Amino acid sequence: MKISLRWLNEFVALPCDLQSREALTGLAHDLTMAGVAVENVAGDGGDAVLETDITTNRVDAMNHYGIARECAAIYDLDLPALAPSLPAAQGAHDVAIEITDAAGCARYTARVIRNLTIQASSPEIQRRLQLLGHKSINSAADASNYTLLEMGHPTHAFDLDRLQGGKIVVRRARPGETLKTLDGIDRKLDPEDLVIADAAKPVAIAGVMGGFDSMITSATRNVLIESAWFDPVTVRRTSRRLGMHTDASHRFERGADWGTCPVACDRVAELLLTSGAGELCGSAIDSIARPIDRPTLRLPASEVLRILGLDIPRADIRRILTRLQFGFAQEGDTYVVTVPTWRLDVESNIDLIEEIARIYGYNRFPSTLPTFSGAVNPAPDANQAAKIRATLLALGYNEAISLTFISNADAAAFSRVAAAQVANPINEETPAMRTSLLPGILDMMAWNLNRGVSEARLFECGQIYSSAGPETSEQPAACLAQTWDALLASRDSSERISPADANAATIAFRRFKGDIETLLERFEHATLVYDAAVERAYYHPGRSARAVFNSVTVARFGELHPRLQEERKLKQPVYIAELDLAALYKVAPHQPHYGPISRYPAVERDFSFFFPAEITFQKIRNAAEALGIEHMRSFDLGEIYRGKNIPAGQYSALLRARFQSDQRTLLDDEVKDWSAKITTALQGLGGQQRV
């Protein structure tokens, strides 16, 4: 909303030199600090304009007189009432107003002017309209717009001769009715829409826009001026349904001033008569369907102190409320305040307290801290969430946040649940709420690869969503991704493993799995098993696994299926993991368990074998563990290798058993015996000992 300072100054004598830039800045500051946010002061001198941003509740301040009222309160100034001056009326009008819908229209005031000449407005009116960003149209339209800018009440002028039966009926639209509005568009009306009709048909959409056929033109001679009060919800519903946001609807849907209808009507008449001759016909027509009563509030002085924490002097309170033109009296320790008709936002004591505080000045209140006793509780999952995050950061994954919207194709490709759909998506291609974090993280991997970042590690923790009919649900998930290059890189680039190496996939998978193991082992578990039952088509079937944690699948991970890698134009293989955080959050973080360290030396024995490709490490370890060797503490993989010097269909593995007792030093012979048993067991699997 733009406010002309010269115009404003016609209502209140602003206590500053309007020629001074500094004074204008000060005025802007004072208004902002009182709740009329001034974003800019444009121009200077007589043409200075305040660009204000008025909050939606303060429709009363969206005009010059309203801002003048604010100034009167801020600077303690007199503000004369608006009183248009009209000539004596000629004869009588013969217009009937009928409000059939009191809920939609509480008041309808009208004036009739006959034998008018529609012409251009006076240069000053044109200048002001232009200064404030409005086009000058003709004397009738300009009078209405000028009144709107001046006092904030929307009005409309009809060509009286176009109103059939010389009659105004305020009613709901009938089924099937249409109206061509001022902008030339034919509108289909809904029986919920409030219309202004003549004897036969709608001539305006109440509070939104007038009709094309009853529009004022240069041929118009007789005019009916409308100044009414329409129900905010009714206007808003229609304006939204028709997508018509107008200056009028903006005011009405925020609550216009019921009390000012006749004043606005007279003001338009005054302006019209001044600029285009014509005769005022008959007295004002003022049809009241129902009064909009404003409450009288009883505000105890103690309540102001209880909420604000500062004992504002009573004289200040009186000054503030009376300057804002509230009715004010004091009964003992209670303020009795009558709310004016233009302040529909003020309904209860707390609203009065805000009025007092804002004009008194928020920055004049002291700063204190409330006393507090009690415990501080972190979020229920904070401990687990922090542990996961810290582990992933330490493992070198960068934390990312992706958008929550995905395509339905991605939702179908990466999940088995029904995606919750956004009714009004910004991008028609991504109307679904993510059912998986993978589409987002894969897009980010592609972003990096396309920009030459070939070693990328990312993770994201966030909600994923699903729906079942109208019901929706969401749960926390985490997702990791790492490029092939990042997996195969060593800390010294000289040692990078060539992707062509026959062992590269195994190395990459093991490194990635190691991250998953590190992460999951930070949680308490009775069992933690990895197997190949991934059952998700977007993973490489031979290079993916799942982790089953206390018999719940908590993670799936592995290489992205090469088909998807191609479809998503990823320049190299990408390893991905999905973690079910809802399941992990139910588990306690890993607790340290102390056990004494054996005082006796451990003995390690290595076993170097060739195995057929189908013998998994799990089988090998099971075979060794099945021997039940009491003092075998661990049986691990030292090294694995395929390729040069290894027979086709086989691989070589260096396995390491570790023996130790808590009670004694182990004997050479017994170690030798166990080693022999292990060797036999491994041979039983088809393994062939290397010499």
Partner 1 sequence: MYTVAKLHDYSAAALQQAADELLHALEEESLAVKGEAQLTLYRNRWLGRKSGILTQVNDEWLKAAPREAKREAGQRVNDLKSAVEARVEAVLAAPAGSATAALAATDRSATAPVDVTLPGSRRPLGAEHPVIRTMNEIVAVFAAMGYSTGSGPEIENDYYNFEALNFPPNHPARDTQDTFLMAGQESLPRRERRLLRTHTSPGQIRIMEKQKPPVRMVVPGKVHRHDTADASHSPMFHQVEGLAVDKNITFCDLKGTLEHAMKALFGSRVRTRFHPSFFPFTEPSADVQISCIICDGSGRRGNEPCRLCKQTGWVELLGCGMVHPAVYGFVDYDPAVVSGFAFGMGVERVALMKYGIDDIQVLFQGDVRFLQQFA
Residues 286-315 that bind partner 1 (CB under 8 A): 306-310
Alpha-carbon dihedral of residues 341, 347, 349, 352, nearest 10 degrees? Answer: -40
Yes or no: say if 226 and 252 are a contact pair by the CB < 8 Å rule.
Answer: no
Residue 243 backbone dihedrals phi, psi, to 5 degrees: 65, 35
For the bound state, the minimum distance from the C-beta of residue 387 to partner 1, rounded and expressed in Å, comes to: 14
Pairing mode, strands 603-612 and 650-659: antiparallel
Yes or no: say if 157 and 138 are a contact pair by the CB < 8 Å rule.
Answer: no
Residues 545-584 that bind partner 1 (CB under 8 A): none
One of 74, 228, 420, 629 touching partner 1 (CB under 8 A): 420
For the bound state, the minimum distance from the C-beta of residue 337 to partner 1, rounded and expressed in Å, comes to: 15
Q: Is 586 in the site for partner 1 (CB under 8 A)?
A: no
For the bound state, the minimum distance from the C-beta of residue 88 to partner 1, rounded and expressed in Å, comes to: 41
- Give 191 or 309: the residue with its C-beta nearer to partner 1: 309
Residue 202 backbone dihedrals phi, psi, to 5 degrees: -65, 140
- Give 166 or 462: the residue with its C-beta nearer to partner 1: 462
Yes or no: say if 333 and 301 are a contact pair by the CB < 8 Å rule.
Answer: yes
d(CA 234, CA 228): 14
DSSP per-residue codes, 124-183: HHHHHHHHTT-----HHHHHHHHHHHHH----EEEEGGGSGGGEEEEEEPPTT-EEEBTT
Residues 599-628 that bind partner 1 (CB under 8 A): 605-606, 608
User: For residue 539, what are the contacts with CB-CB under 8 A and spacing of at least 6?
Assistant: 556, 558, 559, 560, 561, 576
- Give 107 or 254: the residue with its C-beta nearer to partner 1: 254
User: For residue 440, what are the contacts with CB-CB under 8 A and spacing of at least 6?
Assistant: 402, 403, 404, 406, 434, 460, 479
For the bound state, the minimum distance from the C-beta of residue 6 to partner 1, rounded and expressed in Å, comes to: 25
For the bound state, the minimum distance from the C-beta of residue 513 to partner 1, rounded and expressed in Å, comes to: 18
d(CA 206, CA 193): 8
Yes or no: say if 378 and 410 are a contact pair by the CB < 8 Å rule.
Answer: no
Residues 177-196 that bind partner 1 (CB under 8 A): none
One of 422, 507, 528, 685 touching partner 1 (CB under 8 A): 422
Residues 643-672 that bind partner 1 (CB under 8 A): 668, 672
Q: Is 393 in the site for partner 1 (CB under 8 A)?
A: yes
- Give 228 or 388: the residue with its C-beta nearer to partner 1: 388
DSSP per-residue codes, 623-690: HHHTT--TTEEEEEEEEEE-STTS-TTEEEEEEEEEE--SSSPPPHHHHHHHHHHHHHHHHHTT-EE-
Tell the residue number behind the tokens 């005769």, with chain if given. 279
- Give 33 or 292: the residue with its C-beta nearer to partner 1: 33
One of 103, 403, 537, 667 touching partner 1 (CB under 8 A): 403
Residues 471-530 that bind partner 1 (CB under 8 A): 472, 474, 491-492
Residues 348-387 that bind partner 1 (CB under 8 A): 348, 350-351, 353-354, 357-358, 362-363, 365-370, 372, 374-380, 382
Which neighbouring-strand residues pair with 258? none
For the bound state, the minimum distance from the C-beta of residue 637 to partner 1, rounded and expressed in Å, comes to: 14
Q: H or E element: which one contains 11?
A: helix 5-11
- Give 165 or 638: the residue with its C-beta nearer to partner 1: 638
Pairing mode, strands 632-641 and 650-659: antiparallel
For the bound state, the minimum distance from the C-beta of residue 486 to partner 1, rounded and expressed in Å, comes to: 8
Alpha-carbon dihedral of residues 607, 609, 612, 618, nearest 10 degrees? Answer: 10
- Give 492 or 566: the residue with its C-beta nearer to partner 1: 492
- Give 397 or 523: the residue with its C-beta nearer to partner 1: 397
- For 160-185, b/e burial (b = at least 16 CB within 10 A) is bebbeebebbbbbbeeebebebbeee
For the bound state, the minimum distance from the C-beta of residue 433 to partner 1, rounded and expressed in Å, comes to: 7
Size of the site for partner 1 (CB under 8 A): 99
Q: H or E element: which one contains 317?
A: helix 314-323
- The residue among 216, 221, 223 whose CA lies nearest residue 168 is 223
- Give 37 or 77: the residue with its C-beta nearer to partner 1: 37
One of 16, 23, 37, 301 touching partner 1 (CB under 8 A): 37
- Give 236 or 267: the residue with its C-beta nearer to partner 1: 236
Residues 55-84 that bind partner 1 (CB under 8 A): 55-58
- Give 85 or 363: the residue with its C-beta nearer to partner 1: 363
For the bound state, the minimum distance from the C-beta of residue 565 to partner 1, rounded and expressed in Å, comes to: 17
Site stretch for partner 1 (CB under 8 A), options 7-15, 31-39, 204-212, 522-530: 31-39
- Give 521 or 673: the residue with its C-beta nearer to partner 1: 673
Q: Is 241 in the site for partner 1 (CB under 8 A)?
A: no
- For 194-212, b/e burial (b = at least 16 CB within 10 A) is bbbbbeebbbbbbbbbbbb
Query: Residue 154: what residue type?
Result: P
DSSP 8-class letter at 261: H
Residues 316-345 that bind partner 1 (CB under 8 A): none
One of 42, 200, 233, 533 touching partner 1 (CB under 8 A): 233
d(CA 349, CA 95): 43
For the bound state, the minimum distance from the C-beta of residue 454 to partner 1, rounded and expressed in Å, comes to: 10
Residues 451-470 that bind partner 1 (CB under 8 A): 451, 453, 455-460, 462-463, 465, 467, 469-470
- Give 467 or 550: the residue with its C-beta nearer to partner 1: 467
Write out the two tokens for 285: 């027509």
For the bound state, the minimum distance from the C-beta of residue 608 to partner 1, rounded and expressed in Å, comes to: 7
DSSP 8-class letter at 589: B
User: For residue 559, what are the contacts with CB-CB under 8 A and spacing of at least 6?
Assistant: 505, 508, 509, 539, 540, 543, 544, 573, 574, 575, 576
- Give 236 or 294: the residue with its C-beta nearer to partner 1: 236
Q: Is 593 in the site for partner 1 (CB under 8 A)?
A: no
What separation in angstroms does the CA of 660 have from each of 136, 620, 632?
A: 98, 21, 7
Write out the two tokens for 449: 């690869």
Residues 127-166 that bind partner 1 (CB under 8 A): none
User: For residue 383, what are the contacts with CB-CB under 8 A and spacing of at least 6?
Assistant: 589
Query: Residue 465: what residue type?
Result: Y
One of 87, 425, 514, 562 touching partner 1 (CB under 8 A): 425
For the bound state, the minimum distance from the C-beta of residue 371 to partner 1, rounded and expressed in Å, comes to: 8
One of 7, 11, 108, 397 touching partner 1 (CB under 8 A): 397
What separation in angstroms does the CA of 302 have from each of 49, 306, 307, 326, 349?
A: 41, 6, 9, 20, 12
- Give 5 or 34: the residue with its C-beta nearer to partner 1: 34
- Give 35 or 276: the residue with its C-beta nearer to partner 1: 35
For the bound state, the minimum distance from the C-beta of residue 597 to partner 1, rounded and expressed in Å, comes to: 20
- Give 162 or 251: the residue with its C-beta nearer to partner 1: 251
For the bound state, the minimum distance from the C-beta of residue 325 to partner 1, rounded and expressed in Å, comes to: 18
For the bound state, the minimum distance from the C-beta of residue 309 to partner 1, rounded and expressed in Å, comes to: 3
